[in-house]
Amino acid sequence: MDKGAPVIYGLEFQARALTAQTAELDAVRFLIGTQSLKLSSNQVHLVELNEETGNLKTQIFQHSAGEIWSIQASPSEPDKFITCYNTLTDDGLCQMKGALWKIPSSHDCNDIVPLEKLADIDTTAHGIDLKTITYNPTDGAKAVSVVDNNFVLWDINFKPQVVTVGTLSSKGQPKFTNGKWNPHNSCNQFTTLNENHVRGWDFRDPKEPVWIISSAHSQIIRDLDFNPNRQYYLSTCGDDGYMKFWDIRNPTEPVLSRMEHSHWVWSIRINRFHDQLVLTSSSDSRVILCSIASVAAEPIGNVSAPEEGVSMEEICTKEKLEDGVLSKYEEHEDSVYAVEWSSADPWTFASLSYDGRLVINRVPRKYKYQILL
């Protein structure tokens, strides 16, 4: 694969839901969920990149339940995932629902076959505005749904069962807009977004948040991500165009703020292995790769063998990366709603725009060796 050339895959329908196949550590794979207005026509695409040739292997599955707004891959079983989807009730009204799915074990790759529904995750007792259902980062038997002003911990090992419910109670009953597990503290904490506020909750006593970042952005916050290598650090992004980095022990001011996009920032992702690498995607149709070295953990590991055409002398003369933009990717022509790092290759990532275009890129080689030095 040419390290500088993007690989582009076009879907028939609009899309905004993307996830890496988290439990797959040997192949670069991503799952995409579509948003066709004809609800029964929706699909899940499994896309695999051949890193040597740059070719894509794709499989398409029917998701006739409705248009997919969120898709989350299991951290432990590659063939399982969760979707939140919009569908019609018997009364002809739109309703958000959640379900656990399995990719069929045997099928012809050229056929579009239905997914196997393992279970419905019925959140209707807790509200109607379902935003996401997200897996525990390490335990595929646990998930949290974010619905109205509630976050609900589920045991989904067999039939989904409610374990714990946390509720945001205040004037006007504001609704959550998103949420994410905190991968630290034995995964006992969950973080929610509502409007421009961030709250951390402990499942063991979810009555009140354990920390709050009030008015973290001047407008609505769209996404957050935790630094997997620094316990108290997280990142946020939102409609004000900023990405911000926080130490939750001192939530009054961000550790770092940067504005690289010219419109709403929909997604932010910190690299799990090299946490100074941060991806953002925006309604300005761009994906931006930044180095945020000032809030990264100390580098670990040794320099790997150089790729063909790169000498050790060339590597050793390079300076360490500083904070700033490393690359801007402009292969999209519509709002880029999602960006995700590969779980199999720390240098590969995918982005998805609303017009159904998936673009797979790699971190430029010159930055890779500056990081590994």
Give yes or no for a contact between 176 and 168, defined as CB atoms under 8 angstroms apart: yes
Give yes or no for a contact between 155 and 142, defined as CB atoms under 8 angstroms apart: yes
Sign of torsion, CA 296 302 306 310? Answer: positive
3-class SS string, the chain? CCCCCCEEEECCCCEEEEEECCCCCCCEEEEEEECCCCHHHCEEEEEEECCCCCCEEEEEEECCCCEEEEEEECCCCCCEEEEEEEEECCCCCEEEEEEEEECCCCCCCCCCEECEEEEEECCHHHCCCEEEEEECCCCCCEEEEEECCEEEEEECCCCCEEEEEEECCCCCCCCCCEEEEECCHHHCEEEEEECCEEEEEECCCCCCCCEEECCCCCCCEEEEEECCCCCCEEEEEECCCEEEEEECCCCCCCCEEEECCCCCEEEEEECCCCCCEEEEEECCCCEEEEECHHHCCCCCCCCCCCCCCCCHHHHHCCCCCCCEEEEEECCCCCCEEEEEECCCCCCEEEEEECCCEEEEEECCHHHHHHHHC
Q: Which of 173-177, 254-258, 280-284 has the lowest mean pLDDT?
A: 173-177
Residue 3 has pLDDT above 70, yes or no: no
Give yes or no for a contact between 269 and 235, defined as CB atoms under 8 angstroms apart: no
CA distance 306 to 314: 10
DSSP-assigned beta bridge partners for residue 246: 234
Give yes or no for a contact between 140 and 80, defined as CB atoms under 8 angstroms apart: yes
Q: What is the pLDDT of residues 227-244, one digit of tens each?
A: 999 999 999 999 999 999
Residue 286 has pLDDT above 90, yes or no: yes
Give yes or no for a contact between 284 and 296, defined as CB atoms under 8 angstroms apart: no
pLDDT score of 370: 87
Chain mean pLDDT for the chain: 91
Q: Who wins on pLDDT, 287 or 371? A: 287
Residue 276 has pLDDT above 80, yes or no: yes
CA distance 175 to 106: 41
Q: What is the pLDDT of residues 312-363, one digit of tens each?
A: 454 444 567 889 999 999 999 999 999 999 999 999 999 999 999 999 999 9
Q: What is the pLDDT of residues 99-142, one digit of tens each?
A: 999 999 876 667 899 999 999 999 999 999 999 999 999 999 99
Give yes or no for a contact between 335 and 352, defined as CB atoms under 8 angstroms apart: no
pTM exceeds 0.75: yes
User: Six-digit token pair at 182?
Assistant: 């905190």
Tell the residue number behind the tokens 């992702």, with chain if given.
269
pLDDT score of 300: 42
pLDDT score of 256: 97
pLDDT score of 2: 45
Q: What is the pLDDT of residues 43-82, one digit of tens each?
A: 999 999 998 899 999 999 999 999 999 999 999 999 999 9
pLDDT score of 90: 81
User: Six-digit token pair at 175?
Assistant: 């609704």
Residue 124: phi, psi to the nearest 5? Answer: -65, -25
Give yes or no for a contact between 278 and 270, defined as CB atoms under 8 angstroms apart: yes
Residue 98: phi, psi to the nearest 5? Answer: -130, 150
Percent of the chain with pLDDT over 90: 83
pLDDT score of 13: 96
Q: Who wins on pLDDT, 301 or 226? A: 226
Type of residue numbered 260: E
- Kindly report the length of the chain: 373
Strand bridging mode 161-167 / 178-182: unpaired
pLDDT score of 170: 77
CA distance 211 to 191: 9
pLDDT score of 111: 83
CA distance 138 to 141: 9
pLDDT score of 298: 66
Mean pLDDT in residue range 298-316: 48
Tell the residue number behind the tokens 């597990």, with chain if given.
181
